[in-house]
Structure 1
Amino acid sequence: MTSNYHIGIDLGGTKIEVAVLDSQDKIVFRERLLTEAHLGSEHIFNQIHSLYKKALISIQNKTHSLGLGTPGSISKKTHLLKNSNTLCLNSLPLQSLLEDKLVHDIVIENDANCFALAEALMGAGKGYPSVFGVIMGTGCGGGIVFDGKIRQGPQNIAGEWGHMVIDPQGYPCYCGANGCVESFISGGGLEKRIQDKTGKTLSAIDFFNAPSKDEALKNIKQDFYARFGQALANLINILDPDIVVLGGGLSNEKSLYKEGIDEVYSRIFNDTPSTPIVKNMLGDSAGVIGAALIGRGLTQ
């Protein structure tokens, strides 16, 4: 049976959001709650259930597909969630638990893949054959879309550039490695480095707005651009995507599109680097829109 509505749930470390798309891909309902992961997995499931019930009311319980975007992915071997930075959800049978609680079939996909799909079909990547979507928020993730479909890979890890090691002597990551991209250029990683190097507690936004005369912060900023350049150049050298779309809170930092891109281009294995590296168009709606779209089976 064809669904006239597509419900998407975006499960983030800070917030959980639900949105309903109609048959024309227009958002007809949208709401969010805090994740409050410190209260545990059962609390998170209750938050999801509450949002889902409100979405159902908005469409009068009509036929719908249901997709959920989450950090990490479902293991094809164990069917348990793995690699999530919402640690209390790792090693849980997320799909079966949620299907029992919501009493509906659900498609689960990595949150960065959801972001990439939404931007590829409806946002900054529309019209490009291949799109790499980057999330630089609390964590750092990525997703690959070819010809309008998410590339998952046989291990469900395609696009996980946040856990590409760029400095083996770097900070330890929850994944078990040292010096992952996420530890350098995510918001959380950047804030930890600022604290360790300067003793200051600064948000990523305040950091980029800090006075340029502070030498310690200036050095961290230069290193940030260099790490961003190395990480993204490595990715482009391997995939050579038609476009890279940046998302997450750090994608709002204007200097990424000048100093950051200069660092990327200086490291690409080509004498005339030309990969468009652009800001997302859908803002913080991209993840939840992508979650709604995945119910259509847009993976490969």
Structure 2
Amino acid sequence: MRIGIDLGGTKIEGIALDSTGIERARKRIPAPRGSYEETVAAIRDLVAALESETGETGTVGIGIPGAVSPATGLVKNANSTWLIGHPLGQDLEAALARDVRLANDADCFALSEATDGAGAGAPSVFGVILGTGVGGGITVNGALVSGPNAIAGEWGHNSLPFVLPDEMPGPHCYCGKKGCIESWLSGPGFAADYMLDTREALSPEAIVAAADAGNRPARLALRRYADRLARALAHVVNILDPHVIVLGGGMSNIAALYDEVPARWGAYVFSDTVATRLARHAHGDASGVRGAAWLWPEAN
């Protein structure tokens, strides 16, 4: 049995999968925000609850909103800032009395969709998270791609490519820079762009609904978003040339993107054709937690 844990800023979700990927149990609990020690204890208790429900023990993979530094073994780049600087993997192994595997949550999303999701069977998959933040993960032949800095796929903190004059220098990003892809393409970035144009504060969902109803400013905001996403993904295609790009996160539920983006990205891709397929996630909100379980590909 494989157990996956998706450690989020507001919730922690756990899943137990059998050897074929069939769900045996799933539980979700609130995340103890601000407390590292309580986070470790919550994950320990969640694993115990899943094993109690299934009557089996399992391997444990954990998706985290950050990365583990190869140099120090400590968490870095986490928007759940109370995790930063701690040896989370080491402490969880002590709490669970077994080996654990940790990966960035976007990597887990990519692995899930490449294993038995929208990218299953594709030689290469770029998995994209478009939510409160923007992240990405890469798989080749079903395995995650990693590097010496543990940042493979972190496209969200590159500058928006093919930038237009009125887009410079770009919005402030929490990382301290301006004009990051995340600051444009996250849900809050989309809402901020709409508010800058209209002086009206709406949620991303409300903007999309207004666009569907024919509201011109909302339609223009959605058009700008699609074009920026096309440019940002074209940059990925130019570097990785993936077979499939799978979108996840709240913004991935905008149906128009799957027509609008491929119609636009050809203008920015250095090729006469673009055979890369853009796909919507197959597992929805469960992709991250399923991918965490698949960090252990070996049968248990």
Return the TM-score normalized by structure 2: 0.90
- RMSD over aligned CA atoms reads 2.1
Measured in 1, the distance between the counterparts of 2:172 and 2:74 equals 24
Measured in 1, the distance between the counterparts of 2:180 and 2:186 equals 10
Contact 1:228-1:263 within 8 A present in 2 as well? no
The one of 3, 16, 19 aligned to 1:7: 3
1:103 Cα offset (Å): 3.1
The one of 105, 113, 118 aligned to 1:111: 105
Measured in 2, the distance between the counterparts of 1:74 and 1:7 equals 20
Contact 2:243-2:275 within 8 A present in 1 as well? no
Q: Secondary structure at the match of 2:49?
A: helix
Q: Secondary structure at the match of 2:135?
A: strand
Aligned amino acid, residue 65 of structure 1: T
When residues 36 and 185 of structure 1 are mapped into structure 2, their CA distance, relative to the original with a 3 A threshold, is farther
Number of residue pairs the alignment of both structures matches: 292
1:28 Cα offset (Å): 0.2
Q: Secondary structure at the match of 2:224?
A: helix
When residues 80 and 209 of structure 1 are mapped into structure 2, their CA distance, relative to the original with a 3 A threshold, is same
Q: Secondary structure at the match of 1:31?
A: strand
The one of 146, 149, 154 aligned to 1:152: 146
Contact 1:7-1:292 within 8 A present in 2 as well? yes
2:257 paired residue number: 256
The one of 95, 99, 113 aligned to 2:89: 95
1:11 Cα offset (Å): 1.1
1:69 Cα offset (Å): 0.5
The one of 55, 61, 65 aligned to 1:67: 61
Percentage identity across paired residues of the two chains: 41
Measured in 1, the distance between the counterparts of 2:45 and 2:78 equals 22
2:275 paired residue number: 274
| TM alignment of 1:128-207, pairs within 5 A | 128-166=122-160, 169-207=169-207
Measured in 2, the distance between the counterparts of 1:243 and 1:77 equals 32
1:196 Cα offset (Å): 4.5
Return the TM-score normalized by structure 1: 0.90
Measured in 2, the distance between the counterparts of 1:202 and 1:51 equals 36
Q: Secondary structure at the match of 2:274?
A: coil
Contact 1:65-1:296 within 8 A present in 2 as well? no
Q: Which moved more, 1:231-240 or 1:276-285?
A: 276-285
2:236 paired residue number: 235
* Structure 2 unmatched ranges of 5 or more: none
1:17 and 2:9 matched:
no
Contact 2:51-2:58 within 8 A present in 1 as well? no
Contact 2:127-2:246 within 8 A present in 1 as well? yes
Q: Secondary structure at the match of 1:78?
A: coil
Aligned amino acid, residue 188 of structure 2: G
1:198 Cα offset (Å): 3.6
* Structure 1 unmatched ranges of 5 or more: none
Contact 1:185-1:227 within 8 A present in 2 as well? yes
Q: Secondary structure at the match of 1:133?
A: strand
Contact 1:71-1:111 within 8 A present in 2 as well? yes
Measured in 2, the distance between the counterparts of 1:291 and 1:159 equals 17
Contact 1:233-1:267 within 8 A present in 2 as well? yes
- Write the deviation string for residues 165-192 of structure 1: whole angstroms up to 9, x where unpaired: 1156112222222111111111132233
